[in-house]
Amino acid sequence: FFHSSVFHRFIAKPCALGLKVQANGPQKAQPNAILEKVFTAITKHPDEKRLEGLSKQLDWDVRSIQRWFRQRRNQEKPSTLTKFCESMWRFTFYLYIFTYGVRFLKKTPWLWNTRQCWNGYPYQPLMPDLHYYYIVELSFYWSLMFSQFIDIKRKDFGIMFTHHIVTVTLITFSYVTNLTRVGTLTLCLHDAADVVLEAAKMANYCKCQRLSDLLFLTFAIVFIVSRLGIYPLWILNTTLFELYEALGNFPALWVFNMLLVILQILHCFWSYLIIKAAYKAISKGKVAKDDRSDIESSSDEEETVPRSKTPHSAISTNGTSGANGTNGYLTGGTCSEEH
């Protein structure tokens, strides 16, 4: 956390300002004691019945109250500058650790022959470079798991939290049981796609749309090839079959493989989302808006002064009894963000 804070303040923020990344956050809702009490104590997403009650109490039309709640939810979200700094920190780490992993692994025999992962097991010496690699990766994923509660909130919070739990457990378990050789292969393979993803997000925050699209499509290819191709054919093959052939059956084998399979299930879920976004990118000519986006928006967001109820506005409000009961304002587009 300390390194992240220092990096954000003295490196990422000056870079963001130099690239003219917007520092202002979402538009704030005007102060209103009644709506604020409902927002903080009851619900952030009032239903149609509550909206109508508030409309009568405040003499506002439903549309204005919907807009107020949308702006109030958005004002808790971070600015583009904050998101850029977060992505730059992760990009820097992933680039460093991936480069370190490649330089370390190219000198090892198990990179070219995965059966070497099991030669001499469990009496394999823990090399200083391997120890450093593990400790740095484990520290970073611990920080991700805790910072997820204070960083940008995503719609797939539960899935990401599960991923961090599985990853930390896998790194710790493989270290304790000395399954570190195959662990280094797994770590390096996963870092490859993350480097490109964070670069794509930074390009998006800088409004370099073409570069962002290109990097996103590159990320989609790297992710799918590495997670759905190389990972099962290379990592799972050696842990499920070669490990069993070399050492037979033992309890740690089943625990280790169960965690690796859970990771593969998460890979399949994310690959579906990535393929869906890539298809939209190709069909529409640009990267589709992210399903995980954390900012709501609508075409009338610039309207900040609530309108009093009038015969005309009452007629408009009555038109909210459609399928979603919100006149479309809670189903507006979202800001383009990441995969």
Dump the DSSP string for 148-196: TTTS---TTHHHHHHHHHHHHHHHHHHHHTT-HHHHHHHHHHHHHHHHH
Residue 305 above 60 pLDDT?
Answer: no
Q: Which residue has the tokens 């709506």?
A: 35
pLDDT of 329: 30
45 — pLDDT class (breaks 50, 70, 90):
confident
| The token pair that represents 27 in the structure block | 């538009």
Q: For each of the domains in the chain, give its residue range(s) and CATH number, in order of start.
A: 27-76 (1.10.10.60), 80-288 (no CATH)
pLDDT of 170: 94
| The token pair that represents 333 in the structure block | 């587009």
Specify the pTM. 0.75
CB atoms within 10 A of CB 23: 13
pLDDT of 339: 39
pLDDT of 299: 39
Lowest average pLDDT, out of 6-10, 94-98, 119-123, 181-185, goes to: 6-10
Tell me how many degrees the CA angle 69-75-78 measures, rounded to the nearest 5.
Answer: 145
